[in-house]
Amino acid sequence: MKKRVLFLFAAMLVFGTVLAACGTSGGGTSNGKKDGVKVAMVTDVGGVNDKSFNQSAWEGLQKFGKDFNLKQNTDYKYLQSTSSNDYEPNLTQLIQQKYDLVFGIGYLMQNAVKNVAERNKNAHLAIVDSVVDAPNVVSINFKEEQGSFLVGVVAGLMTKTNKVGFIGGIDSALIKKFENGFKAGVKSVNPKAQIFTQYAGSFDAADKGQAIAATFYGKGADIIYHASGATGNGVFTEAKTRKKNGQNVWVIGVDRDQYDAGLPEDVTLTSMVKRVDRAVYDVSKMVKDGKFPGGKTLEFGLKDDAVGLSEHHQHIPEDVLKKVDEYKSKIISGEITPPKTDKEYKQFVANLNK
């Protein structure tokens, strides 16, 4: 009888321990925070080494992993997409591997994130540069037209030929924000400047980027701003080749500080940094703290220090930088609203000419 009582008592202790373990499964704690967190991202076709958008996102995730002592490839990692057909399988794979948050990097992944979110109601996803209206997705956007306006001011004041260029990746509402903000900045300080514009139709076609840049430089442009992901690598290649041959041309980079992309010929005038890295870091930390902002759209702009000129701008004179600061203050105060669309740009220029 004593043995039987002892057995039942031991069994009750074991059962109680199992219940306690079940109450904290998944790494959660009573205050909603996670003891550990797993975060991953899927690149678009530009790839993680695009020296631009995807790379910035990965740098943010790497910093998050380092700051919280996470293991790469276990607690945080990326999957690279070589075509649009990879988007949904890559997102699904990371969800199946129990990542607490999965980022889809780039608006090209909008439909993939939406479809995967619908099939995986308990998953937490994030989309950058687009909006997915779902309770388990946080949408992250930027006011690219604001930062692009400021680099337009730089280009408009610094061009020696009175000709500048803009090269976009895919003609879309997103990249139009870069284009129209840039053109508005140029025209605000240099109404007579000629602006060449062309889209490559791709974010991973460096050869097309180089060909368009060659055309623009050949027509007299001395500064080109690109918003084209890895396609922009070709723009830098063309600028460096021409710089070697004695032609004084510049590139304005995008998304991250692309100073290194212009070396060793030093052709990067500045970059319109878009702090994708900061957004990825901040949203990852929200999930770690048990505060996933599902169903919300977060937007970052000049007032958040999330867009603007890069730290490398040593080729820009002080008087130009002061002018940039003036326009920055006007944008933040609401005195100036940089245009996003072609229609808004036409109206903006019309107002300048009044």
Res 36: pLDDT: 83
SS3 labels along 224-250: EEEECHHHHHHHHHHHHHHHHCCCCCE
Q: Which residues contact 338 (CB under 8 A, 6 or more apart)?
A: 145, 146, 148, 149, 180, 181, 184, 185, 331, 348
pTM of the full structure = 0.84
Res 31: pLDDT: 37
**Low-confidence residues of the chain: pLDDT under 70:** 1-35
Beta bridge partners of 105: 128
Res 254: pLDDT: 95
Domains of the chain: 34-142+277-303 (3.40.50.2300), 144-274+317-352 (3.40.50.2300)
Q: Which residues contact 284 (CB under 8 A, 6 or more apart)?
A: 37, 39, 60, 61, 64, 101
Query: Given the structure tokens 């980079």, which residue do they identify?
Result: 253
Res 30: pLDDT: 30
Other beta carbons within 10 Å of 176: 21
Measured torsion, CA atoms of residues 25, 30, 31, 37, in degrees rounded to the nearest 10: -20
Res 35: pLDDT: 62
Q: What is the pLDDT of residues 179-233, one digit of tens each?
A: 999 999 999 999 999 999 999 999 999 999 999 999 999 999 999 999 999 999 9
Res 16: pLDDT: 40
Q: What is the pLDDT of residues 99-126, one digit of tens each?
A: 999 999 999 999 999 999 999 999 999 9
With a pLDDT cut of 70, the percent of the chain lying above it is 90
Burial label for 161, CB within 10 Å (0-12, 13-18, 19+), is middle
